[in-house]
Amino acid sequence: MDGLEGSPVGVQVPLYQAKAEFFRMLGHPVRIRVLELLADGPTPVRQLLAAIEVEPSNLSQQLAVLRRSGIVTATRDGSTVVYALAGGDVAELMRAARRILTEMLTGREELLAELREAEASSALPQ
Amino acid sequence: MDGLEGSPVGVQVPLYQAKAEFFRMLGHPVRIRVLELLADGPTPVRQLLAAIEVEPSNLSQQLAVLRRSGIVTATRDGSTVVYALAGGDVAELMRAARRILTEMLTGREELLAELREAEASSALPQ
DNA sequence: GCTGAAATTGAAGAACTTTGCAAGTGTACT
DNA sequence: AGTACACTTGCAAAGTTCTTCAATTTCAGC
């Protein structure tokens, strides 16, 4: 876990490792849903909890991961805590991901259609 | 691992889970480097191996993850195997990630500067 | 057919992440 | 002060992923 935040300022982490940590931090269904909800504006935990089927303590852990990575901020307002995206076009990233994902799944269906039609043998790995 | 490929055709996985699996598949330094190398065109394993400091069998494992997810394809040419991006603008995704990453790190430095200046107490979580 | 090089696979153990529960902190209300 | 609510934290068990080793497959050249 913990990726980005662990690095003291000035200690250089190779960029490809920072990227890997960034993507790993995105790699959890609850965290994805939180980011998508936050894309529509700052949201109190209570509301996230209502929208996502998950135990409060589990949500808190996932929020902690997002917070530590720096992609979201938390501010306390009375007894509720409000989360918001720290900046950046997270929505754009999600769009890019969706495009690739769609393409990948489409490619897959085409491949399967081909395979269904001609039960031929070929010489490719796997 | 295995995410996307495990799903029989027609069994619907919630989109946020497919996204999480997709990002998790990107979440490894060796896999990121492979994708970045492949962004410059199809590349034989031998060349990947020369460019990335990693054991052959470890690289193979990571290539298998990428292959199973469908983001790359492998074709055999004589005794060498050549990998290529399966489609999609992976480069665009990486650019989006880099933008956010940069912003996050910049935000962090600003925050730290602020903290250094005024050692004030506040009431935020963490 | 052997031998060697290129790449993959399988399996075992270490390392990491996720989950849920119980306990803790902070704020608001009476 | 005491109770209730909103969240967070610590921790152990369960689950997943990573790394490495040895074994295997596939092809090319002899």
Quick one: B118 exposed, middle or buried, by C-beta within 10 A (0-12, 13-18, 19+)?
exposed
Lowest mean pLDDT among A61-70, A76-85, A112-121: A112-121
Q: Is B7 on the interface with A (CB under 8 A)?
A: no
Contacts of B90 in chain A (CB under 8 A): 100
| Sign of the Cα pseudo-torsion (B110, B116, B121, B126, in order) | positive
Q: Give the pLDDT of residue B29.
A: 97
Residues 23-82 of A with CB under 7 A from strand D: 44-46, 49, 56-57, 59-61, 63-64, 74, 79-81
CB of B60 closer than 8 Å to CB of B41: no
Q: Is the pLDDT of residue A110 over 70?
A: no
Q: Is the pLDDT of residue A35 over 50?
A: yes
Percent of chain A surpassing pLDDT 70: 74
* Averaged pLDDT, groups of 10, chain B, 126 residues long: 43 82 96 96 96 96 96 94 89 85 74 52 42
Order the strands of the B72-77 sheet from edge to edge: B43-44, B80-85, B72-77
Of B27, B99, B103, the CB nearest to A27: B27
Q: Are A32 and B20 in contact (CB under 8 A)?
A: yes
> Is pLDDT above 90 for A52?
yes
Q: Is A28 within 7 A of strand C by CB distance?
A: yes
- A76 versus B8: the higher-pLDDT residue is A76
CATH code of the region B3-86:
1.10.10.10
- The alpha-carbon gap from B66 to the nearest alpha carbon of chain A, in Å, equals 12
DSSP conformation class of B87: S
Task: Decide which of B60 and A114 is more confident.
Answer: B60
Q: Is the CB of B30 under 7 A from strand C?
A: no
Task: Name every chain A residue with its beta carbon within 8 A of the beta carbon of B124.
Answer: 74-76
Q: Specify whether the CB–CB gap between A51 and A32 falls below 8 A.
A: no
Q: What pLDDT, on the 0 to 100 scale, is given for residue B24?
A: 97
Is it the case that residue A2 has pLDDT exceeding 80? no
Alpha-carbon span A42 to A29, nearest angstrom: 19
Between the alpha carbon of residue A24 and those of residues B14, B31, B80, the distances in Å are 19, 12, 31
Q: Does B75 touch chain A (CB under 8 A)?
A: yes
ipTM of the complex: 0.82
B33-59 in b/e form (b: 16+ CB < 10 A) is bbbbebeeeebebeebeeebebeeeeb
Helix ranges, B52-117 (H):
56-69, 90-117
Give strand pairing partners of B3: none
Supply A50's token pair.
């209502």
Q: Which of A45-49, A56-60, A92-96, B48-52 is predicted with the least confidence, judged by mean pLDDT?
A: A92-96
Q: Region A55-81: what's the mean pLDDT?
A: 95
Residues from chain A that touch B92, judged by Cβ atoms under 8 A, are 96, 99
